[in-house]
Amino acid sequence: MAYDDQNIFAKILRGEIPAIKVYEDEKTLAFMDIMPQAEGHTLVIPKSPAVTLLDLDPEDAAYTIQIVQKVAKAIETALERKGIVLMQLSGEEAGQTVPHIHFHLIPSSVHQLGKHASQMGDQAKIVALAEKIKAAL
Ligand code: AMP
């Protein structure tokens, strides 16, 4: 699938719209999901322009998963809880709504997940959680 550089995560990467960031380096960005499926729901994205996991350069995939692991550890520490659902939707057919590949880190159980991308979270709460995660990184 062709990459649309007007997608919302591309805009976040270019600084055109805000995001509640927890981690950034030259190849990846991690930020809070604004419609969280659980408290602490965080997204990790590679900066390279790929729509799905299948399009992503394998080296970028290998690097990004290391950041996914790093952020997952920080989430567990920050929230003082165990158990993270790692979710990656590749393709509209799978329910993907933003066409820039991203990994969801959701500190929850698969049996207790909130509805996907359906309700805006409390911004102040999300910012406070982001501060805790940043401090644990
Ligand atoms: P997916 O359906 O797997 O593509 O997931 C897209 C995710 O991005 C959903 O969980 C949305 O809640 C989240 N999302 C959409 N817009 C934004 C935004 N501007 N900032 C942070 N998260 C977003």
Domain 8-136 has CATH 3.30.750.200: no
Residue 81: per-residue pLDDT: 92
State the residue for tokens 């990004």: 64
CA 24 to chain centre: 12
**Domain positions in the chain:** 8-136
Q: How far is the CA of 59 from the centre of ligand 1 (A)?
A: 24
Is 52 a pocket residue for ligand 1 (Cβ < 6 Å)?
Answer: no
pLDDT > 90? residue 34: yes
Pocket lining: 34 vs ligand 1, CB cutoff 6 Å: yes
Specify whether 102 is catalytic: yes
pLDDT surpassing 90 at residue 92: yes
Percent of all residues in the chain with a pLDDT value above 90, rounded to a whole number: 98
Contact 47, 10 (CB under 8 A): no
Largest CA distance in the chain: 40
Q: Is 89 in the pocket of ligand 1 (CB under 6 A)?
A: yes
> pTM for the full model?
0.98
pLDDT at res. 39: 96
pLDDT at 72 over 80: yes
> Is residue 68 scored above 90 in pLDDT?
yes
Task: Report DSSP letters for 77-127, one per residue.
Answer: HHHT----EEE---SGGGT--SSS--EEEE-S-TTS---TT-S---HHHHH
Has residue 1 got a pLDDT over 80? no
**Among 19, 117, 1, CA closest to 9:** 19
Q: Which amino acid is at 22?
A: V
